[in-house]
Structure 1
């Protein structure tokens, strides 16, 4: 399971990196094309939007896997005994349930937009929603793993290998 999650994490990093590079290159070419040649490509906005969706939501899942989301721990760490562990576990559980509920509510949007094509690139608009749902699924999996590791594993690494942190 850990090997599979590490490979998924690597794939997400690769997709995010490619999306950032592709979006930067395409937008740069579009700016040059507009200012120098007084013309533009119709598909650039759609492609850059799809890249931004990938960067945003897959990046959020990646941040969840690395426990890199910002949170204020000062007051929680001041609690006595096992209470901080319980509060963090409760937070992970609530976030995982929220991710699952987002997947549930995203499903009709995926089905509704499966055959709706983008005007310029002729790609299904459901791609954006599929990326979102997949990102929420990954986030939920990582949150549940972190929740389990808080009570049954090494809580210091939150269910991840040391080199993944």
Structure 2
């Protein structure tokens, strides 16, 4: 029996430590995740952990806050206030963790990092992630056609973003809906 979906309060992000990188690499290499990402070498993750323009986090979830994936933000010191959701990888899937993480990351980007624009790219074949990002208010900006080589040929990247004004309007709408 699978653990029920943890409430948003039961998902947290903690800074990745170098000692976490074996876990990070294992999650990237998992057969369920590989079609949707371009895995990094360990040295790239080490750089993201150390370099101040990045934020590299372990996702912890559930009653015991077990490791449930990782996330990387890039552009955290971008002078144009444009922060990128570089990577979000979950293990396991289908428990509502993605939505909880996207909400935490969006809040972090706009509230904590002072972003004007929060953006990402996602492989076109990743229909589950596309649906999640759209439902959370991200807007498609364009497509980089057949820009990523896959085992089956090529896939396109879809660039999506949310602006600070859109985020604030979304928060107002959620608040009004809860009232």
Give the number of the structure whose alpha-carbon radius of gyration is greater. 1
Which has the larger share of strand?
A: 2
TM-score (norm 1): 0.22
More helix by share: 1
Query: Relative contact order (C-alpha < 8 Å, sep 6+): which is higher?
Result: 1
